[in-house]
Structure 1
Amino acid sequence: QNVGYMPEDDCYIAGLTGVEMVQFAARLSGYPRTESLRRAHEILDFCGVEQERYREVDTYSTGMRQKVKFAQALVHDPPLLILDEPTAGLDPDERLALLHRISTLAHRTGKTILVSTHILPDVRAICDTVAILAQGEVRVVDSLERLSQPASPALHVRTSHDAAPLIRRLEAAGGQVTVNDDGSLQIMLGGADAARQIWRLAAETGVGLRSLVPSRNSLDQIFLDAVRGDGRADS
C-alpha cells in the first residue's frame, strides 16, 4: 500500500477496460468497490484518459497503455512511486504532459518518485537527484545541480565573429581556451571578475559575444564519466 509501481512492460488483464483495470488495482490495495471506482475515474481524469477508459485495454495504443499503467500505480495514493521508463511509447505532446504530471505529484503532494529511464532529457526535466548504475553497481548518487558543475570553473562563450583575436588575448592574459566542435569557446580565466575581463577583451579585439554563461556538464557527459568509472563528470 505504500508503493506504487509502473512497470516498463505491459501488465494488464485481457478483457478488462481501462477503468476496470485501475479499479482492480485499487481493490487490491483494500478500497471497497464504490470507492475504488470513484478513485479510478479521478485518477484517469488526472492522467488524461477520457472516453477510452471504457474500451478494453488490449485495444489500446502503446501510449494509452502507458497512461493506464501510470494510473494504476497512483490510484491508492502511495507515498512512494517507482516508474520504469514512464514515457516510453508516448508522442512528444503526451511525453511532456506526463512529465508535468510527475513534477506536479512530486511538488504538490510530497511523494517520493523514483524514475528509471534511459531518456536523459527526462531526467533533466523532472529529477533533482540522480543515481547512475553500471554493471549492477551504483556509480554515482548526487544532486543534479552538483553533478552539473564542472570540476574546474569555466565559462562557455559563443561569438558572432572570428574568435582568433580574442583567443590570443585571453591566452596572453593567462587564460586556458578550448575551441569546441561547434566553434564555441570553453574559457578558464582566474579571478572573480573573469566574465568582466572576457567582455572587456572582446570589446578591445572587436569580437562580438553572442552569449557568455557558466559551463555545465551535460547529462550525457555525466553518464559517460560514471560508466567509465570516473565517478564524477570533469568537462
Structure 2
Amino acid sequence: MTILATDELSRSFPRVTALDRLTISVGPGVTGLVGANGAGKSTLIKILLGLLEPSGGNAQVLGMDVRTRGAEIRRVVGYMPEHDCLPPDLSATEFTVHMARMSGLPRTAARERAADVLRHVGLYEERYRVMGGYSTGMKQRVKLAQALVHDPQAVFLDEPTNGLDPQGRDEMLALIRRIGAEFGISVLVTSHLLGELERICDHVVVIDGGRLLRSSAIAEFTQATETVTVEVEEGQEALASRLAERGESVTADGRTLLVRVRAPETYDALRDAVADLDLCLIRLEQGRRRIEDVFKEPADV
C-alpha cells in the first residue's frame, strides 16, 4: 500500500524553486521527511493536502490526485501545521470539537472523539481552559489532537517539536510513535533535527533544496560502519599513539577515538593497548551511520 507518491513534482515561486522534480514513494508506518529549513518540506505537505498547486509533475495521497481531489484528501488525512494557528479565546475542547465537525463528524461523535484525543495527548484535565493561556507544549498537543480527532488514515505533522524543551520533545516523539505503533495510522513527520527522526521513524526521506538526496529504511541509515568508537577516562593521546604504532588507523573526535577496523585483529590491538597502558575504558562501541552523514556525502553529478 502506498500512502503518498510524487512523480517529478516541482513547485516554483518568483525567486526560489521549493521543489525540483521530486520523485518519492512512501508506504505505511512512520516516515520522516528531513531537511534544513527552506528545503521544501512544508511546501511538499501543502501540495499533498491540495492547498498549493504544483508547478509541474504529479502527486497522489492514498491513491487520490492532489490536483483534483484535495477536499477528499483533507477529509481522510490529519494535518498539524508548523505555525501557531490556535484561536486564543477558545478552549481546547471547543476547538477540537469544531475541527471534528469540519471533517464531517456529528456533534455527539465529535465531542466523544475530542475527549478521547485530548486524553491521549495529555490535555484532558486542561481541556476547558482557553488556549491563550497555554504553554508552547500544550499548544503543540492541541494541534496534534485536532489532527487526530476525525480518525484519519494518515497524518502529516510539520515540525511538531518546534519550540519544545528537551522533555517536551521526548514526550511529543513518544506520542507520535504511539500513533503509528498502536493506532495503525501512517505518519509523515517533518523535522530539521536529525536525531529525532532516528528515534521514531521506520523510513526516512532526505531532501535538500527541493531535491531528493535519499529515501530508505531507517535501518539502512544506521547500519554498522567499519569503525569502532573508543572513549577512555584519561590517556587518549597515548592510546592513539600506541594503536598507530601497531598499524591501526585512528582519528580523534572530541573525547573519543574512531578506529578503523581493518581486520579482527584490530579488536585484539585495542584490548592489548588499553591493558598495557592501564587505562580506564569508558566506551567501546561499533560505529554506526547517522542521517546527518547523508548531507556530508558528495552529491551525484
Task: Give TM class, smaller chain.
Answer: 0.7 to 0.9
Whose helix fraction is larger, Structure 1's or Structure 2's? 1
Secondary structure of 2:271 counterpart: helix
In 2: Cα distance, 1:93 partner to 1:30 partner: 35
CA deviation after TM superposition for structure 1 residue 14, in Å: 6.1
**2:232 corresponds to which residue?**
159
Give me the whole-angstrom Cα distance separating, in 1, the residues matched to 2:86 and 2:233: 56
Which of 246, 252, 255 is equivalent to 1:179?
A: 252
Taking the TM superposition and a 5 Å limit, the aligned residue runs for 1:58-73 are 58-73=132-147
Output the TM-score relative to the length of structure 1.
Answer: 0.84
Q: What runs of 5+ residues in structure 1 fail to find an aligned partner? A: none
Query: Post-superposition shift, 1:190?
Result: 1.9
One of 197, 205, 216 as aligned partner of 2:288:
216
SS at the partner of 1:54? coil
Report the RMSD for the aligned CA atoms in angstroms.
2.5
Any runs of at least 4 consecutive aligned residues in structure 1 with deviations exceeding 4 A, and if so which?
A: none
- Counterpart for residue 225 of structure 1: 296
Corresponding residue for 2:130? 56
1:45 and 2:119 correspond: yes
SS at match of 2:182: helix
What is the aligned partner in structure 2 of residue 142 from structure 1?
A: 216
Higher relative contact order (CA 8 A, sep 6+): 2
| Equivalent AA in structure 2 for residue 199 of structure 1 | R
- Mapped to 2, the partners of 1:137 and 1:25 lie a distance apart of 34
Q: Provide Cα deviations, 1:100-158, integer angstroms capped at 9, x if missing partner.
A: 111112111222111111223322322232222111111121233322346x5011111
148, 152, 158: which one aligns with 1:84? 158
Q: CA deviation at 1:178?
A: 1.0
Report % sequence identity.
Answer: 34
Alpha-carbon separation, structure 1, partners of 2:84 and 2:132 = 10
Report the TM-score, using the length of structure 2 for normalisation.
Answer: 0.67
Render the CA deviation track for 1:136-185: whole Å, top value 9, x for unaligned.
111121233322346x5011111233244543443343321112233x21
1:12-31 equivalences in 2 (<5 Å): 12-13=86-87, 15-31=89-105
For residues 81 and 61 of structure 1, the distance between their equivalents in structure 2, rounded to whole angstroms, comes to: 23
